[in-house]
Amino acid sequence: MTKAIILGSGAASGVPTISDGWGACDASESKNRRSRAGVYFEDGATHILIDSSADVREQLIANNIRRLNAVFYTHAHADHTMGIDDLRALNYHIDDITGMQKKVQGQALDIYAVEPHIAEIRRRFDYVLTDEKAREQTHRPQLCPHEIQFGQPIMIGGVKIMPLEFAGHTVVTIGYVFNDGQLVLIPDYKEIPAQTLAYLQKIDVNVLIMPLTAVEECRYHAGIDIDKHYIAQIRPQRTVLTHLGPKCDYQKVLQLCPPHVEPAFDNMVLEL
Ligand SMILES: [Zn+2]
Ligand SMILES: [Zn+2]
């Protein structure tokens, strides 16, 4: 089965937040408890993580994800990268044959982003990157960076991943198209560049994951009206809204959604 999991459905502050608690969200609705951004894609033996927030450790444990082929980054903001140190555990393969978790020597884990985001990760987490694929004897994470280009697809196992450019956030962000539309992930954005929109309109989009940070648009994020405008043009079979801030109550957002669109929640599984 090919599937995606919304590991974290929250925006940068998560829900509840430290300063404002539940905000506009109903505390009695369990879907309103949100960890920070992360998506997982699995196709047979190919396991791919998109973004590693500060909550990534709990997210991978909760979903029993112990092996990754690669990590893709949408951008290097803190809410998408701060769990990068915890990826050290993925440098090991877990041998369950004996019924005991035995660590065996693994390899460096491949990570993918565009050049400015790799540079930002290198600046902030210099110690986690290595250019050597073979793993050394060390307890620090070993992540092997790969620069990708917009419009140039990468193959991971049998999975085709097309990186696309998005605009209107504080930095350029990268969206990803898996297997020509089986899954499309839109990153933090406010605007879809014409070239990217034309590409998305040409393919058949099965499931679209896109952010709704606040219902009303703000300076660096699209709101529900901008999201709906693009959903109508891309025409996916199903759309899931994620990166939900404390102003986005699950039930209230659901009521604003057109048919085949719904808000995400942590650990939501999407069969593809
Ligand atoms: Zn974000
Ligand atoms: Zn961001």
C-alpha closest to that of 6 among 238, 229, 234: 238
Q: Is 152 exposed, middle or buried (0-12, 13-18, 19+ CB in 10 A)?
A: exposed
In the reported structure, the alpha carbon of residue 127 is separated from the centroid of ligand 1 by a whole-number distance in angstroms of 23
Q: How far, in Å, from the CA of 238 to the mean position of ligand 1?
A: 22
Average pLDDT over residues 106-134: 88
The DSSP result for 72-92, as a single string, is E-S---HHHHTTGGGGGGGGS
Distance of CA 244 from the midpoint of ligand 1 (Å): 9
Domain count, the chain: 1
Q: How far is the CA of 159 from the centre of ligand 2 (A)?
A: 26
Q: Residue length, the chain?
A: 272
- pLDDT tens track for 219-259: 999 999 999 999 999 999 999 999 999 999 999 999 999 99
Per residue in 160-214, pLDDT tens? 999 999 999 999 999 999 999 999 999 999 999 999 999 999 999 999 999 999 9
Cβ pair 226, 169 in contact under 8 A: no
Is 70 exceeded by the pLDDT of residue 39? yes
pLDDT, position 62: 97
Q: What ligand has the least distance to the C-alpha of 245?
A: 1
Instruction: Specify the pairing of strand 159-166 against strand 238-242.
Output: unpaired
Question: Chain-wide mean pLDDT for the chain?
Answer: 93
Closest ligand, as measured to the CA of 37: 1
Query: What separation in Å is there between the alpha carbon of 92 and the centre of ligand 2?
Result: 29
The amino acid present at 162, given as its one-letter code, is: M
Measured in Å, residue 102 CA sits from the centre of ligand 1 at 35
Element (H, E) at 269: strand 268-271
Distance CA 59, CA 35 (A): 8
81-111 CB burial, b ≥16 within 10 A, e <16: bbbbbbbbbbbbeeeeeeeeeeeeebebbbb
Reported in sequence order, the residue ranges of 88-152 that DSSP labels E, i.e. its strands, are 93-95, 102-104, 109-113, 143-147
Query: What's the CA gap between 264 and 261, in Å, rounded?
Result: 10
Nearest listed ligand to the Cα of residue 80? 1
Q: Tell me, in angstroms, the distance from the centre of ligand 2 to residue 77's CA.
A: 5
pLDDT 10s digits, 50-74: 999 999 999 999 999 988 999 999 9
Which ligand approaches the C-alpha of residue 79 most closely?
A: 1
Expressed as residue numbers, the domain containing 179 is 2-271
CATH number, domain at 211? 3.60.15.10
Tell me which ligand sits closest to the C-alpha of residue 76: 2
